[in-house]
Structure 1
């Protein structure tokens, strides 16, 4: 029978990161502990409990690996499978090195050229320029802002740059992400200019936003730049009324971990919808993210942060239990 323990190992490897998220959220919560006297939870208690679960899972997993090796010794086919997997693992660093060697940064272009694209109202050229110099964007963000101001019509220029930016041909996921990221930066900088948006421009932006919303799917594997692109477009062009509030909240849930989402909620005018938003985060098992919004919008009375964190710990315990049960089940299947 085919045996793959990679999922179990991946789950174990993710525990430290989840525990670190919990610790950070707990520290933020603790700084507000004077606001609610019922807060008696101690980090050492949580840390000790999670560490105990982590150690227990690792021990059970090592026992499972020992069983697998024992069974593999008696099964040539299984041994061949393990050997093949080992070759893949051994080759992976070489592939990464190759990618690192092949991927070269383009030459730095003059800031004057950036301005030239804007003066000539060359939206596609501007987009291409930013894409090729993507890692330098933080350094010339101010120059991009000044360059857009030099354009005869900055709003139309940005809309032109967004028009048909998704290639019709199939491209690699990384390349597509970079294209989305470029468009997000353009919309962000346009928003910073705080220009008056005419109805004709808003209608054109609405068509883009509707198209982008259709590309968003629920799940952690979704390209978060697509989500941010949609949200920034809605904020910049005032398109909140073009979509159902509940639909926008569902989109916000996908990127709730991002730092700018608190300000995004304020820009959307969603202060009165934060109770619903926090409920959605809780249903998705994102209690740690929910704490951030509870504190930012002073909602501790209805959504006690301590209860949210305790709920998160219970979620971790449940996941740990399920992994242990899965490990036990796999042990039995391996030897039979």
Structure 2
């Protein structure tokens, strides 16, 4: 009887059943693969979200730290204002007294002074022309100049104005009626470098030079004139290394660094990277990220 019952099952039905089972198997396989793909996709998304979240947390922490530093700097600046004003007034009285004494000294006494004494004499009398001529004439004694200039400039009634007046004959353009073949950029750089510690805020240091608004604007006008001259004479490719160095030191010394000029600063630094002071100037004008 059993064999008769089995015999009555059509072979086509068996084949259809196996075909249906095969379809179900393929469907299960497809679903399994799809599930794996979706699992991998969501795992990737989850990892990506975690990475981005970590990056955002890091940026937020960095921003918080930067904000704290900025607020701390602002508080320090606010607290230092009164002290800076008192210091400037005290120095002004000292410099005025020294200037009166220097003016009263005879020319014979001035001739007997050594190099440091002569520099200080010119500074106390605010004789920027004689001062600049002396610096240029003593190029062979550059190390003595470098050591004596900061103290001498400290004797000026207005050091920032004195230096601007001193270098204005040759920077941003050479205005001398008879131009010597010697480049005087080295003298400008030396004087500007020596002015940095003189202008430094007693609390914040050279990060905030003590310069009056009128002098800062005059320094900014000089920098603008130099940039305009640069464009008129063929760009960076035609500029002399001492001139580029003077410009960069000028904007650093007087605290007139412009964000819009960062590309210009970068190109100048790269073009004259072989000069010894360029790495320090690059940091001073805000290019430390470009040097990493």
TM-score (ref. length: structure 1): 0.45
**Mapped pair 1:126 → 2:126:** no
Partner of 1:270 in structure 2? Answer: 287
Which structure has more RCO (C-alpha within 8 Å, separation ≥ 6)? 1
Partner of 2:193 in structure 1? Answer: 188
Q: Which has the larger radius of gyration?
A: 2
Partner of 1:161 in structure 2? Answer: 166
What's the CA shift for 1:147? 0.7
Runs of 4+ deviating beyond 6 Å = none
CA 1:221–1:114 in 2, change beyond 3 Å: closer, same or farther? same
Q: How many Å separate the matches in 2 of 1:219 and 1:266? A: 20
Corresponding residue to 2:264 among 230, 247, 270:
247
Q: How many Å separate the matches in 1 of 2:257 and 2:241? A: 19
CA 1:242–1:270 in 2, change beyond 3 Å: closer, same or farther? closer
Q: Deviations over 1:114-163 (max 9, x none)?
A: 11100001111111110111121212322111111111111111011122
What CA RMSD, in Å, does the superposition of the two structures yield over aligned residues?
Answer: 2.3
Q: How many Å separate the matches in 1 of 2:164 and 2:236? A: 29
CA contact (8 A) 1:184 1:228 kept: yes
Partner of 1:151 in structure 2? Answer: 156
Q: How many Å separate the matches in 1 of 2:253 and 2:236? A: 25
Q: How many Å separate the matches in 1 of 2:123 and 2:152? A: 6
SS state at 2:144 partner = coil
1:155-304 alignment to 2 at 5 Å?
155-165=160-170, 166-169=174-177, 171-172=179-180, 174-175=181-182, 177=183, 179-193=184-198, 194=200, 195-216=209-230, 217-218=234-235, 222-241=239-258, 243-272=260-289, 274=290, 293=291, 297=292
SS state at 2:258 partner = helix
Q: Which runs of 5+ in 1 are unaligned?
A: 1-107, 275-292, 298-336
Q: How many Å separate the matches in 2 of 1:159 and 1:242? A: 23
Q: Which runs of 5+ in 2 are unaligned?
A: 1-112, 201-208
CA 1:248–1:219 in 2, change beyond 3 Å: closer, same or farther? closer
TM-score (ref. length: structure 2): 0.51
